[in-house]
């Protein structure tokens, strides 16, 4: 059975109305006007706890924001946090929702649209990712130079809202060169190793097979995950600058040598979400230091 939209329904108006209601709810709680929006992925949400400043920190659980979808994935706290760090007012999504949870693309990017409507014009999007490039190791931080959207979905499907951005947004520099340069400068100053590469966004939720990891590497992907690409498309459509950072939490299937059992047989390395969280916890200090330094650069007009 084919569903039909009600007569007079306009998806652009519906999305705009939902975003405006969410923004009103946030502004009823704080007068802070963020310059930077942060989307914090699996195990990386602790950075939001560092936001503070003279006005203090404002943390709003997603269920208290009209229209805000809630993630059921472990490691995603589900709060919108506003505050100041290194002289820059920021708003952070402490956790995100994903396509594989059954959400539509519009739901996946709803929180980002709210943060952009609050005033943020620079977006830092982070994720936990598996390595498809054998040269990457668990614990590496990787700047996104580009991405492959292999989800088969886009948040721009349907009528375009010309007041937000063009029908056909340019993606030739999805990840801002100036922000990447600033991130490398901060990493060098802090002594934090920082890799760079191409991120492939897949639907999930199953991890990739060894054959899929080999395919992705041949396609040019250095890391693979289940988020980020839709958010980047949304931000660029709205004219915001984007910086992407992956925490490499594991090598992709087939890239870790098998272990030997007591009977002499080999066992393939088994991937798990617990491993993702454990690695993210291990690199937390470096990740927080990099973000704080980057926000200092943005606040000082150097990025």
* pLDDT of res. 124: 97
* pLDDT of res. 102: 93
Cα gap 190→86, rounded to integer Å: 15
Average pLDDT (101-115) is 96
Bridge partners (DSSP) of residue 269 are: none
Cα gap 215→192, rounded to integer Å: 30
Cα gap 277→285, rounded to integer Å: 14
* pLDDT of res. 73: 64
Task: State the pLDDT confidence band at 36, using cuts at 50, 70 and 90.
Answer: very high
- Strand pairing category for 79-85 and 266-267: unpaired
Residue 192 pLDDT exceeds 60: yes
Q: What is the DSSP letter of 11?
A: H
* pLDDT of res. 171: 98
Write out the E strands in the chain.
36-40, 58-61, 79-85, 88-94, 122-131, 141-149, 195-201, 223-225, 241-251, 259-260, 266-267
* pLDDT of res. 75: 52
The 3-state DSSP class for residue 84 equals: strand
Residue 74 pLDDT exceeds 90: no
Residues 6+ apart with CB under 8 A from 47: 38, 40, 92, 287, 288, 291
Task: State the pLDDT confidence band at 231, using cuts at 50, 70 and 90.
Answer: very high
Task: State the pLDDT confidence band at 219, using cuts at 50, 70 and 90.
Answer: very high
Domains delineated in the chain: 28-156+173-257+267-299 (3.40.50.1580)
Q: Which residue has the higher pLDDT, 17 or 278?
A: 17
Cα gap 102→85, rounded to integer Å: 34
Proportion of the chain above pLDDT 90, given as a percent:
74
Buried b (16+ CB within 10 A) or exposed e, 178-195: ebbebbeebbeeeebebb
**Cα angle 202-203-205, degrees, rounded to a multiple of 5:** 110
The 3-state DSSP class for residue 53 equals: coil
pLDDT in tens, 250-281: 999 888 777 666 666 666 777 777 877 888 78
CB atoms within 10 A of CB 20: 14
Residues 6+ apart with CB under 8 A from 256: 250, 269
Average pLDDT (246-252) is 93
């Amino acid at each position: 059975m084919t569903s039909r939209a009600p007569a007079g329904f306009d998806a652009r108006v519906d999305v705009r109305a939902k975003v405006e209601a969410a923004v009103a709810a946030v502004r009823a709680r704080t007068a802070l006007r963020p310059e930077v929006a942060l989307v914090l992925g699996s195990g990386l949400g602790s950075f939001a706890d560092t936001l503070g400043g003279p006005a203090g920190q404002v943390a709003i659980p997603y269920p208290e924001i009209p229209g805000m979808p809630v993630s059921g994935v472990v490691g995603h706290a589900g709060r919108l946090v506003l505050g100041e760090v290194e002289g820059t007012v920021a708003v952070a999504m402490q956790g995100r929702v994903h396509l594989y949870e059954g959400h539509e693309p519009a739901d996946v990017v709803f929180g980002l649209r709210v943060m952009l409507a609050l005033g943020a014009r620079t977006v830092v999007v982070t994720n936990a990712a598996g390595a498809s490039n054998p040269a990457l190791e668990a614990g590496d931080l990787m700047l996104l130079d580009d991405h492959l959207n292999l989800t088969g979905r886009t948040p721009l499907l349907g009528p375009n809202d010309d007041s937000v951005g063009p029908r056909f947004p340019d993606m030739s520099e999805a990840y801002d060169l100036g922000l990447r340069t600033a991130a490398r400068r901060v990493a060098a100053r802090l002594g934090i190793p920082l890799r760079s590469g191409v991120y492939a966004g897949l639907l999930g939720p199953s991890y990739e097979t060894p054959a899929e990891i080999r395919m992705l590497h041949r396609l040019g992907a250095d890391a693979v995950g289940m988020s980020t690409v839709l958010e980047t498309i949304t931000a660029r459509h709205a004219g915001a600058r984007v910086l992407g950072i992956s925490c490499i939490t594991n090598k992709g299937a087939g890239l870790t040598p098998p272990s030997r059992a007591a009977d002499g047989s080999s066992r393939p390395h088994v991937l798990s979400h617990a491993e993702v969280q454990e690695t993210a916890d291990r690199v937390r200090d470096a990740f927080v230091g990099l973000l704080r330094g980057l926000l200092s650069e943005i606040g000082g007009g150097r990025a």
